[in-house]
Amino acid sequence: MVDFWQIIQNAAIEIVSPTTAAYALAALGLAIHFGYTGLLNFGQAGFMAIGAYGYAISTLTLGFPVWASVLVGLGGSVVFALLLGIPTLRLRADYLAIVTIAASEILRLVFTTNSLDAVTGSADGLSGYKNGFADLNPIPTGTYGFGPFTMNEYDLWLRIVGWGLVIILGLLAWQLMRSPWGRVIKGIREDEDAVRALGKNVYFYKMQSLILGGLFGTLGGMIFVLPRAVVPANYATTLTFFIYTILLLGGAATILGPIVGSIVFWVLLSAVSGFVARAQAVGWFPGMSSVQAGQTRFIIVGVVLMLLVIFRPQGIFGNKKELSFVK
């Protein structure tokens, strides 16, 4: 028999998991890029990889404390954004899309290459960088929470930091978007020449937006690797597209959208994969192997998301009125 209670419990865990928080952060960054500024950044995975590797390499190879490792990651992210933005932000929007998707792939391949094995760990990636973060934990050893949310002190600390970041950065983005700065940014999304004609330095604003959203992605990348290891294969383009899915699911030009979108995405993914795996094991799907069952979740989630985007294109929190004017 399929244990539905277990499936529900496993799915519930995802609501507060640090991975969900990491994706929410990256999606918030993408909301700033795509939803508010209209920048087609297809390299959010690259910004996340810089966060993950920047943190891990600084800690492992250079022996930096936590705060310095975080700063290295953020600094790397700003440099990456400048490298991408300087040549492309003066050009049409599609150039940024091409350059970002290529640059994030280049990053991933550089991190995978064997000649840098001593620093990046090549395809095996990096691990053992969590001690500094665990040492900062003020929570005494023990077991916390209830039901499916039972966890040890490290997991609780990680969740507090992850979701604390989501809340702080969410508030920061919310304040920015209701300020005159946000008005310029949204104006650029609608028509950058019109904004230019009103005396605003469009290039400068686009650069600020690219850097800011990138930093969100980088922090997301750091949270992402704290419950696991740094593995280069995680930063393929699929990661970027999952984040786009989350963004569109929640509503592109909203603050709550990317956060709730991330929760819905991960709960759905966990529930579907849990169900398919268990149903396959008890023989509900004759002729399906367990490997196939593992892949089926993406097919089902993909269909569900397609339906959502077709029937609720503005996302969960998007304004229906806004969409009625999109050509």
Partner 1 sequence: MSSSGGPSTRPVKTVDLHIGDSVPGVKKTNPIIVADKVKRAFGGLTAVDVDHLEIPRNAITALIGPNGAGKTTFFNLLTGFDKPDTGKWTFSGKSLAGIPSFKVARLGQVRTFQLTKALNLLTVLDNMKLGAKGQKGENMFYALLPWLWRKQEEENDAKAMELLARFKLDTKAGDFAASLSGGQRKLLEMARALMSDPTLVMLDEPMAGVNPALTQSLLDHILDLKKQGMTVLFVEHDMQMVSHIADWVVVMAEGKIVAEGPPDEVMRNPAVIDAYLGSHHDSDLGEDPNEEQAEHAMKELLHDDDKS
DSSP of 102-155: HHHHHHHHHHH-GGGHHHH-GGG-B----HHHHHT--SPSSEES-GGG-EEHHH
- Shortest Å, Cβ 215 to partner 1: 12
- Shortest Å, Cβ 202 to partner 1: 7
Q: How far is CA 145 from CA 22, 69, 70, 78, 150, in A?
A: 21, 30, 29, 38, 4
Task: Using alpha carbons only, give the angle 35, 103, 58 rounded to the nearest 5 degrees.
Answer: 100
What is the spatial distance between Cα 258 and Cα 279, in angstroms, rounded to a whole number? 31
Task: Pick between residue 159 and residue 189 the one whose CB is nearest to partner 1.
Answer: 189
- Shortest Å, Cβ 30 to partner 1: 18
Task: Pick between residue 209 and residue 296 the one whose CB is nearest to partner 1.
Answer: 209
- The residues of the shown chain that bind partner 1, judged by CB under 8 A, are 172, 175-176, 179-184, 186-187, 189-191, 193-202, 208, 212, 253, 321-322, 325
- Shortest Å, Cβ 138 to partner 1: 28
- Shortest Å, Cβ 207 to partner 1: 11
* Residue 135: count of CB within 10 angstroms of its CB: 9
Q: Are 16 and 270 in contact (CB under 8 A)?
A: no
Task: Pick between residue 207 and residue 243 the one whose CB is nearest to partner 1.
Answer: 207
What is the spatial distance between Cα 91 and Cα 84, in angstroms, rounded to a whole number? 12
Task: Pick between residue 184 and residue 260 the one whose CB is nearest to partner 1.
Answer: 184
What do you get for the CA distance between the two ends of the chain, in Å?
50
Q: Are 275 and 7 in contact (CB under 8 A)?
A: yes
Task: Pick between residue 130 and residue 189 the one whose CB is nearest to partner 1.
Answer: 189
Task: Pick between residue 91 and residue 198 the one whose CB is nearest to partner 1.
Answer: 198
- Shortest Å, Cβ 45 to partner 1: 25
- Shortest Å, Cβ 104 to partner 1: 24
What is the spatial distance between Cα 152 and Cα 209, in angstroms, rounded to a whole number? 38
Q: Are 315 and 31 in contact (CB under 8 A)?
A: no
Summary count for the chain: helices (H), strands (E):
15, 2
Task: Pick between residue 92 and residue 321 the one whose CB is nearest to partner 1.
Answer: 321
